[in-house]
Amino acid sequence: MVVVAGSGQYTTFVARMLLLPVTLAGGAKDSWPLMVINPSLECIQLERADDGRWHVSPDRSLVQAGLVRPGPRLPLGVPADGLIARLTGSAVAVVLQAPPFTVYEAPADDQLLGQARALGGVLFAVTPTLNPGDLDTGELPPALADPRTLAGWAALHAPARQRRRRFRLRPQIWVLHWNLAHLSIGRLIRLAPRKLTDDQAQSWAERILSRGAPLEWQPVQEHSLEEGWQVRDLASGLQYVIRRHADGWKLVGSAGRPRGSGPRPTTRPKPGPPES
């Protein structure tokens, strides 16, 4: 017997890309791109065993895609039959080649994308034990060793063709945020764990934007600090915002000021013609 139950009308998943330290044959050290996901934060699937006890059961589409428990049955770099990976300029997408053909996508920086291209794929791990958007580095090894975790190698789809292209569009991820006070949209630059404090998130963003030099952060809304923090680059005129979302802190770059916050520029009248 299998029981599937959700809380509410929808379930949500969180996916995150990171580099996983691995030890290769001969003791050589390397870092492999890993997408870790929790496919359903609100519910789990239970199955009754022969002894009458209930335990977490993986979704059938994951098993049909060739995912296995990490261990001897999971050789690194050997593609699973039911997984393919696709790369864009700022993200990795893993597609399950089994019904309902789910697509999981996560932002990735240049280092992660470079490793994925060099290795020809990414490691794909599915776990019900944690929230990847709020993941601490010490939580990853126990999660990967958990018997409820499934994993497989997702090979890149036609990687050689992508490398031969002379011109390539670089799709970007944009973040839209709104409430009763303001509306803003901007390009996602980087993602950080949700558990960071405001001060830690600001220091993290400063290492990206100004190589660690302090920046003068201002609240997006004076009386609502959960709306995040903003800073403006006077040289370029670009504005940057950090805000805590459900899947982590997001550093967003925007060319405009969020509507409803801060002073608006004034418009000066054009001078009239000179009097004769």
What are the backbone dihedrals phi and psi of residue 217, each rounded to the nearest 5 degrees, phi first? -80, 140
Residues 6+ apart with CB under 8 A from 251: 188, 189, 190, 191, 192, 204, 205, 208, 209, 240, 241, 242
Q: Side chain identity at 205, as an amino acid letter?
A: A
The DSSP symbol for 115 reads H
Instruction: Encode burial over 57-89: b for 16+ CB neighbours within 10 A, e otherwise.
Output: bbbebbeebbbbbbeeebeeeebbebbbbbbbe
What dihedral angle (degrees, nearest 10) is formed by the CA atoms of 236, 178, 102, 19?
40
pTM of the model: 0.52
In the chain, where are the structural domains located? 2-164, 174-254
Query: CA-CA distance, 197 to 248, in Å (whole number)?
Result: 11
As a whole number, mean pLDDT of residues 116-136 equals 88
* Tokens of residue 21, six digits: 């330290």
For 18, the token pair is 């990171």
Percentage of the chain with pLDDT > 90?
22
- For the stretch 144-171, pLDDT in tens is 888 888 889 999 986 444 445 555 556 6
Is residue 26 pLDDT above 90, yes or no? no
Chain segment 238-251, per-residue pLDDT in tens: 889 999 988 889 99
Q: Within its chain, how far is the Cα of 28 from the centroid? A: 28
- Checking if the pLDDT of 256 tops 60, the result is no
Q: Please give the sequence-ordered ranges of beta strands (E in DSSP) within 65-182, or none if there are none.
A: 79-87, 91-96, 103-107, 121-126, 150-156, 174-178
Beta-bridged to residue 124, according to DSSP, are 35, 152
Q: In angstroms, how far apart are the furthest CA atoms of the chain?
A: 103
Q: Where residue 226 falls among pLDDT bands split at 50, 70, 90?
A: confident
Do residues 125 and 38 make contact, with C-beta atoms less than 8 angstroms apart? Answer: no
**Mean pLDDT along residues 249-259:** 71
Strand ranges inside 193-270, DSSP E: 218-219, 229-232, 239-245, 248-254
Tell me what pLDDT residue 199 has.
92
- Provide the pLDDT for residue 264: 42
